[in-house]
C-alpha cells in the first residue's frame, strides 16, 4: 500500500460504509457490525502506512496514531469501540440491532474526520517533539488534493438524513406492547406462539396462583427488546409477585425477579 493511497482509499471506505448501511436495512445486523469493524481496520492501517507507523495489533496501531498526533482521543476511542463491537459480533454471533446501529452511527461520524484528513499532503509526517505532536488537533496536514467538497456533500447528506431518521424513530416510537411480537416471523415470541385473545386479560393479584396459557418468554426487563432469560411451557405454574403495569407482570424465576406478558397468564 503506497503512502499516497489515502485519497484513493476513500472510495473503498465509502463503499464499505454504504454496505454497512445496506446490511442494517436488511436487518443483517451481525454482518453489518463485522463490516464496520473491517472498515475501521482498513482506515487504521491506511493511516499507519501514511504516517510511517509499523503494523501491529489494532490496539497498538490506534494507540500509536493517537500518541503521535495523527488522530484525536475521541477518534481513537471510537475506533476501539467499533472494533470491539465487530469482534464480539464475529466471535459470539451478536445480531442485535442496537449494537449494529451504534457501530454504524460512530463510524459515520469518523468518516467525516477521515475524509478531512485525506486532504493532507501525501507522505507528510508531523514534525517536532512528542508534546508538540500531541497538541495537533488533526494529525494530518491540510494541504494537497483529496475529496472534492461536492463529492463529499453528496455522500454526507444521505448519511446525516439516515441518522436523523433513526433518532426520530427512537424518540417518537412508543414501547411495543407484547401483542406486537406477532410481527416477527422468525423469532419465537409470546404473541407468535398463540392466538391472541380478543378479550382483555384478567387483572392479576399478588398471592394468587397462575399458570401460562402458551409458551411464554421470560425477560430481564419489561420490554420486548430486553434480553430473554428463559421460557415457560404452556400450563407452567408461575410464582407471581406483582403487576408491573397494564402489560407486564413481575414473577419469581430461578430465584430472581423477571418479567412476562400479563395477557398470557391465567388463574389456576
Set of cell numbers at residue 151? 463529492
Which element (helix H / strand E) includes 249?
strand 248-253
The verdict on 13 and 107 lying in the same domain is yes
Give the CATH number for residue 121.
1.20.120.330
Identify whether residues 189 and 104 lie together within a single domain. no
- Three-class SS state of 94: coil
Whether residue 23 is found in the same domain as residue 110 = yes
Which is nearest to 61 in space by CA: 82, 43, 86? 43
Looking at the structure, do residues 113 and 135 belong to the same domain, yes or no? yes
Beta bridge partners, 153, equal none
Radius of gyration of the chain (CA): 25
Centre a 10 Å sphere on the Cβ of residue 256 and count the other Cβ atoms it contains.
Answer: 9
Residues 228 and 155 in one domain: no
Spatial separation of the C-alpha atoms in residues 196 and 261, rounded to whole Å: 12
Q: Which pLDDT tens digits describe the chain residue by residue (268 residues)?
A: 433 445 567 788 888 888 999 999 999 999 999 998 999 999 899 889 888 898 889 899 999 999 999 899 999 999 899 999 989 989 998 888 999 998 899 898 887 777 666 544 334 444 333 433 443 433 433 334 445 566 667 778 888 888 998 998 888 877 665 544 444 455 444 444 444 344 444 455 555 678 899 998 999 898 888 888 898 899 888 888 888 888 999 998 988 999 999 888 888 7
Q: Which three cell numbers stand for residue 188?
A: 419465537
Angle at 228 between CA 257 and CA 215, to 5 degrees: 95
Final residue in a domain of this structure, among 129, 156, 172: 172
| Domain count across the chain | 2
43 Cβ partners below 8 Å, 6+ apart?
9, 13, 79, 110, 114
Query: What's the pLDDT at 11?
Result: 83
Residues 43 and 140 occupy one common structural domain = yes
Q: What is the pLDDT of residue 177?
A: 59
236 and 146 within one domain: no
Contact indicator for 111, 87 with CB cutoff of 8 Å? no
User: What would the grid cell of residue 232 be?
Assistant: 415457560
* 138 in the same domain as 38: yes
Domain boundary (122, 150, 172) is at 172
Same domain, 211 and 242: yes
Contact 250, 244 (CB under 8 A): yes
Check: CB of residue 103 under 8 Å from CB of residue 82.
yes
Residue 53 vs residues 17, 62, 104: alpha-carbon distances, Å: 25, 10, 27
Residue finishing a domain among 156, 172, 188: 172
116 and 152 fall within a common domain? yes
Residue 112 belongs to domain spanning: 5-172
Same-domain check for residues 183 and 154: no
Residue 114 and residue 38 share a domain: yes
For residue 258, the domain's CATH number is: 2.30.30.40
Q: Among 261, 210, 267, 205, which Cα is nearest to 237's?
A: 210
Amino acid at each position: 500500500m503506497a503512502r499516497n493511497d489515502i485519497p484513493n482509499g476513500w472510495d473503498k471506505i465509502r463503499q464499505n460504509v454504504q454496505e454497512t448501511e445496506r446490511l442494517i436495512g436488511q436487518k443483517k445486523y451481525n454482518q453489518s457490525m463485522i463490516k464496520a469493524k473491517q472498515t475501521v481496520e482498513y482506515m487504521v492501517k491506511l493511516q499507519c502506512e501514511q504516517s510511517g507507523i509499523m503494523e501491529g495489533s489494532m490496539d497498538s496501531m490506534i494507540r500509536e496514531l493517537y500518541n503521535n498526533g495523527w488522530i484525536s482521543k475521541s477518534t481513537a476511542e471510537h475506533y476501539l469501540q467499533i472494533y470491539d463491537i465487530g469482534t464480539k459480533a464475529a466471535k459470539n454471533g451478536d445480531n442485535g440491532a442496537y449494537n449494529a446501529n451504534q457501530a454504524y452511527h460512530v463510524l459515520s461520524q469518523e468518516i467525516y474526520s477521515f475524509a478531512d484528513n485525506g486532504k493532507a499532503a501525501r507522505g507528510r509526517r508531523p514534525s517536532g517533539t512528542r508534546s508538540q505532536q500531541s497538541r495537533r488537533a488533526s494529525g494530518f496536514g491540510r494541504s494537497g488534493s483529496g475529496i472534492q467538497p461536492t463529492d463529499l456533500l453528496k455522500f454526507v447528506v444521505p448519511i446525516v438524513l439516515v441518522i436523523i431518521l433513526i433518532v426520530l424513530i427512537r424518540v417518537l416510537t412508543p414501547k411495543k406492547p407484547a401483542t406486537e411480537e406477532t410481527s416477527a416471523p422468525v423469532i419465537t415470541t409470546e404473541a407468535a406462539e398463540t392466538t391472541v385473545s380478543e378479550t382483555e386479560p384478567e387483572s392479576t393479584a399478588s398471592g394468587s396462583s397462575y399458570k401460562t396459557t402458551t409458551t411464554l418468554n421470560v425477560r430481564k426487563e419489561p420490554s420486548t427488546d430486553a434480553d430473554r432469560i428463559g421460557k415457560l411451557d404452556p400450563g407452567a405454574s408461575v410464582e407471581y409477585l406483582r403487576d408491573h403495569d397494564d402489560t407486564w407482570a413481575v414473577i419469581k424465576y430461578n430465584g430472581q425477579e423477571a418479567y412476562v406478558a400479563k395477557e398470557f397468564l391465567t388463574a389456576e
